[in-house]
A and B are shown apart, each in its own frame.
Chain A
Amino acid sequence: MAQDALSKLLSQRDWLMADGATGTNLFNMGLEAGEPPEFWNTDRPDNIRALYKSAVDAGSDIFLTNSFGGNAARLKLHNAQGRVRELNKVAASLGREIADESGRIVVVAGSVGPTGEIFEPMGNLTHKTAVEIFHEQAEGLKEGGADILWVETMSAFEEYAAAAEAAQLAGMPWCGTMSFDTAGRTMMGITSAALAGMVENLANPPIAFGANCGVGASDLMRTVLGFETAGTARPIIAKGNAGIPKYHNGHIHYDGTPDLMAEYAVLARDAGVRIIGGCCGTMPNHLRAMRQALETRPKGPRPTVDDIKAALGGFSSASDGTGDTSGDPKRERRGRRGQ
């Protein structure tokens, strides 16, 4: 099989820049809150082209398609579960168009977000159903010409693994990131070190893995250090939010400036991250500042947790949950029944 575009770029370059926010940008173009962004693939394709192009023009080597919520479980909330194939195919084909026009290798990464369902036994989602849901979406993205699948914002490892299996069924190379937003872990309790270990046990491991979204750039960088401490050799992805949303006079904006995001990008590169991008709140001006900093600032030593704190601000929790057992249930047991 020919090498995929992402693996090719990774073999040629030390770092690659991914894109920024999808939602924030689309809302700025007039997406109505409550409207599924994926509908714009067919309703307002020029806006989606503009979104993709803005990332490419700002220097992104990789951009994500507008298909984050394009799985049957999410689209069902809009009674559009029958449009999975179509909406994903168009999301990818618009991307293919923009990437091919760019005159350089730009990776079209088919975005695959969570189903929003909870796995059994706590919830109703079975492994089989999850694989089917992701597989359907993957086939649409593949048909539209996506280079790879980009699984993101996951919190349950079961769901991440189901997406891996779906990628295999579709014959698509893939990357996958989780969102570490709860005391350094994902909502479902996964630590950075745990993810680094678990990806190696997948039958179909990702090209690269990492973290996206969560609680601002500082926390995200701490998660990155956690991946590395776990001793991974796999390329790491960092896609942090442009700061934290703040409320001012009825309007909300992310407090991360382009300068701060440039600082974050350089720190990520110095920490050994191979794929660096933004997430919520990251606009083209942030991306341009990041690209410029990555190209012009000399490589520095690997940052420590203190360096990160000094450059990007404090963390949302004292610990990231790795390296100790304080995260394990520690109640004094009264004795156990049966087994």
Chain B
Amino acid sequence: MADDEIILSELSDDELVLQMHDDLYDGLREEIEEAVNILIERGWAPYDALTKALVAGMTIVGADFRDGILFVPEVLLAANAMKGGMAILKPLLIATGAPRMGKMVIGTVKGDIHDIGKNLVGMMMEGAGFEVKDLGINNSVEKYLAALESEQPDILGMSALLTTTMPYMKVVIDTLKEKGMRDDYIVLVGGAPLNEEFSRAIGADAYCRDAAVAVETAKQFVARKHNRPNA
């Protein structure tokens, strides 16, 4: 119906932001790109466009994913739309010296060749505005350490799908402790056979049941880290 046709450029700022939340929810990449450009043309700070329009919209997607209302296909489409907007904002964010959302190094642990869950977390973290360095599968403690060194992330994410490989997470965390580096990073763990109890037992900061929880948990921990004096 013609009544349903919405011209993005004719919307007020508030309406446009709400429309962007809808369009993210529906995974409409072109519409998101157009809307981000409109906000920038209207003089919005890139950081505001990121947080108020894109991140806020992806938070709704994440909540509905967590609650079993949306599933992986819809979330990936939303993350793809978000990435379209991010591509426009990224150079502007850097140019304006906007605060970073945070950076994550993520990988499946040594011995484990499963990667779909880890890929989803990576995509949703990027969708939430985080920078993500994906180390792929089968990562030894040396590989994690080298990436922490070269990438200087806020967060280390480890994934395992096998009961036989999940104990390796403890090896990595113990090594970080030995080197006195454990407190430099937020360590998040996930994977089908894990649970909260396991995460505590191995000394991780948190267990993330799914990609949406990973994003929420990452945001909380990064906010806490930034609020800490001298951090």
Contact = CB atoms under 8 A, between A and B. Distances in A.
A185 B68 contact: yes
Interface in A258-277: none
A116 B166 contact: no
B69 A337 contact: no
A187 B110 contact: no
A182 B68 contact: yes
Interface residues of B, number: 48
B130 interface: no
A252 B167 contact: yes
A287 B67 CA distance: 36
Contact of A187 (B19, B70, B71): B71
Interface in B186-227: 192-193, 195, 197-198, 201, 210
A215 B112 CA distance: 19
A327 interface: yes
A334 B111 CA distance: 48
A321 B71 CA distance: 11
A338 interface: yes
Nearest to B198: A247
Interface in B132-170: 137-138, 162-168, 170
A18 B147 CA distance: 44
Which residue of B4, B18, B25, B170 has the most chain A CB atoms within 10 A of its CB atom?
B4
A135 B84 CA distance: 36
A123 interface: yes
A77 interface: yes
A245 B193 contact: yes
A33 B76 contact: no
Given A185-B71, A245-B193, A77 B137 contact: yes
Contact of B22 (A74, A122, A244, A333): A333
Contacts of B113: 34, 36, 69, 74, 77-78
A337 B4 contact: yes
Interface string A106-120: 000000000010100
Interface string A20-39: 00011001000011101000
A202 interface: no
A250 B167 contact: yes
B197 A247 contact: yes
Contacts of A326: 69
A330 to B, nearest CB: 7
Nearest to A190: B71
B10 to A, nearest CB: 12
Contact of B74 (A183, A245, A329): A329
Nearest to B201: A247
B31 interface: yes
A337 B22 CA distance: 10
B77 A337 contact: no
A88 to B, nearest CB: 18
Contacts of A103: none
Contacts of A313: none
B3 to A, nearest CB: 8
Contact of B112 (A33, A123, A183, A280): A33
A123 B210 CA distance: 19
Which residue of B6, B64, B68, B138 has the most chain A CB atoms within 10 A of its CB atom?
B68
Given A33-B111, A245-B163, A247-B197, A337 B5 contact: yes
A33 B69 contact: no
A317 interface: yes
Interface in B5-31: 5-6, 18-19, 22-23, 25, 28, 31
A188 interface: yes
Contacts of B22: 331, 333-334
A31 B223 CA distance: 42
A314 interface: no
B72 interface: yes
A23 B201 CA distance: 25
A60 B168 CA distance: 34
B73 interface: yes
29 contacts: A23-B164, A33-B164, A33-B165, A34-B138, A36-B113, A77-B138, A116-B114, A118-B116, A118-B119, A155-B72, A182-B68, A184-B68, A188-B71, A188-B73, A189-B70, A247-B166, A247-B201, A281-B163, A317-B68, A321-B68, A328-B69, A329-B25, A329-B69, A333-B22, A336-B4, A337-B4, A337-B23, A337-B28, A338-B5
Given A184-B68, A253-B163, A327-B69, 7 more contacts: A116-B115, A183-B68, A185-B68, A245-B163, A252-B163, A252-B193, A337-B5
5 closest pairs, A vs B, by CB? A33-B111, A189-B71, A183-B68, A122-B76, A34-B111
